[in-house]
C-alpha cells in the first residue's frame, strides 16, 4: 500500500514501495519543498515509532508563544539558528526533525516547529552545500508552512498506520 497523505504545500508524507525487508521509501514535503531529496529510505520500525511519538507530542503540546514575539516565522527561524550556534536551548525546544528524532532522512535541513493556538508553524532551510549548488535559489531561503495542529497530527497518525501494513501502532 502506498500513497500521499496531507498537502505538499503545507506538510505531506508520501509512502512508497519497500526497499528490502525493513526499509521503505518515504518522502516528506514541507511548504512545497521535497525534504527527503537526499535520503528517502527509512527503517520502518524506528521511523513509525518516531512519527507516532511526534503525533502524540503535537496532540499534547500546549499553545506556546512564538519564540520571539513580533518577528516573522523566517526571522524566528534565523534567530533560533543563531542561538543554536551560541549554545542557547531554544533551539532544542523548537527544533522539529532533530527534536523528534526522525533520523538521517531529515538531516539535510534545519527545521523548527511551534504551536500558536490551534495552528502549527513549520520552518525549513536546506544547508548542505551540494543541495545549494544544484538549487541556488534555496541558499539562505527559509520556507514556511502553517497548518492546523490537528491536520498535522492526523497526517502523522495516518502515516504510522500506512507504514504498519496492518500492525498495531507503536506506543510512544
Report yes or no on 172 lying in a domain.
no
Domain that holds residue 159: 3-164
Query: What's the CA angle centered on 140, arms 110 and 145, to 5 degrees?
Result: 55
Residue 169 lies inside a defined structural domain of this protein: no
Query: What pLDDT score was predicted for residue 164?
Result: 87
Flag whether 117 is in a domain. yes
* Structural domain includes residue 171: no
More confident residue, 125 or 168: 125
Based on the structure, what is the number of domains in the chain? 1
- CA 53 – CA 64 distance, rounded (Å): 19
Residue 94 lies in a domain: yes
Residue 26 CA to residue 28 CA, distance in Å, equals: 7
Asked if the model's pLDDT at residue 144 lies above 60, the reply is yes
- Per-residue pLDDT tens over the stretch 46-73: 999 999 999 998 888 766 677 788 999 9
Residue 89 resides in a domain: yes
Q: How do residues 9-32 score in pLDDT, each as one tens digit?
A: 999 999 998 887 899 999 999 999
Residue 170 belongs to a domain: no
Amino acid at each position: 500500500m502506498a500513497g500521499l497523505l496531507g498537502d505538499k504545500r503545507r506538510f505531506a508524507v508520501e509512502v512508497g514501495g519497500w526497499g528490502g525487508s525493513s526499509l521503505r521509501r518515504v518522502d516528506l514535503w514541507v511548504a512545497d519543498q521535497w525534504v527527503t531529496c537526499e535520503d528517502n529510505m527509512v527503517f520502518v520500525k524506528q521511523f513509525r515509532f518516531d512519527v507516532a511519538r511526534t503525533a502524540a507530542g503535537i496532540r499534547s503540546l500546549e499553545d506556546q508563544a512564538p519564540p520571539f514575539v513580533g518577528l516573522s516565522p523566517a526571522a524566528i527561524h534565523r534567530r533560533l539558528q543563531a542561538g543554536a550556534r551560541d549554545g542557547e536551548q531554544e533551539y532544542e525546544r523548537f527544533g522539529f526533525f532533530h527534536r523528534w528524532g526522525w533520523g538521517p532522512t531529515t538531516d539535510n535541513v534545519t527545521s523548527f516547529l511551534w504551536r500558536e493556538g490551534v495552528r502549527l508553524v513549520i520552518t525549513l532551510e536546506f544547508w548542505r552545500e551540494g543541495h545549494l549548488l544544484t538549487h541556488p535559489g534555496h541558499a539562505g531561503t527559509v520556507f514556511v508552512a502553517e497548518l492546523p495542529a490537528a491536520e498535522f497530527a492526523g497526517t502523522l497518525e495516518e502515516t504510522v498506520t500506512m507504514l504498519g501494513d496492518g500492525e498495531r501502532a507503536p506506543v510512544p
